[in-house]
Homo-oligomer: A and B are copies of this chain.
């Protein structure tokens, strides 16, 4: 059977249940669905974040994510995957993005979801700016994220 790939960049929120239903409806070859949702954190006290703005490179973001979605399909026996990434200004507690992977078995679904997340964190053309009482500041890339992404290129 086919392995549908859905990629959407949007300002509006998404509905994980509807996306899951779209990926699994009418199929009986799926044994495992893994979903990751990234949420805007707020923090507390003076350093609290009042809003997060996501900027992206239109066109490149879609193409880059599609390339990595295809790589995930080549590496793991997935029955489908969905990636939705929001952009624009978000408040703490709001959804930022989601990855959904489906497979006959759980290892493939978990690994593909982690692979796609590590990729999105380090190489997809998105940038985050956090607003605090002290002003807006661009989020810096972390070494942990780079290390997490590097594990998929080791054989």
For chain A, the count of residues having a C-beta within 8 Å of the partner chain is 35
Q: Is the interface of A mostly helix, strand, loop or mixed?
A: mixed
Is there a chain B Cβ closer than 8 Å to A61's Cβ? no
Residues of B within 8 A of A27 (CB): 93
CB within 8 Å for A30 and B36 given contacts A17-B16, A106-B117: no
CB within 8 Å for A36 and B106 given contacts A16-B17, A42-B28: yes
Distance of A132 from chain B, by nearest CB (Å): 13
Q: Is A34 a contact of B31 with CB atoms below 8 Å?
A: no
The 0/1 profile, CB within 8 Å of B marked 1, for residues 123-136 of chain A is 00000000000000
Alpha-carbon distance between A24 and B94 when the two chains are bound, in angstroms: 10
Alpha-carbon distance between A33 and B92 when the two chains are bound, in angstroms: 14
Residues of B within 8 A of A92 (CB): 28
Interface residue ranges, A against B (CB under 8 Å): 15-17, 20, 24, 27-44, 92-93, 104, 106-107, 109-110, 113-114, 117, 144, 148
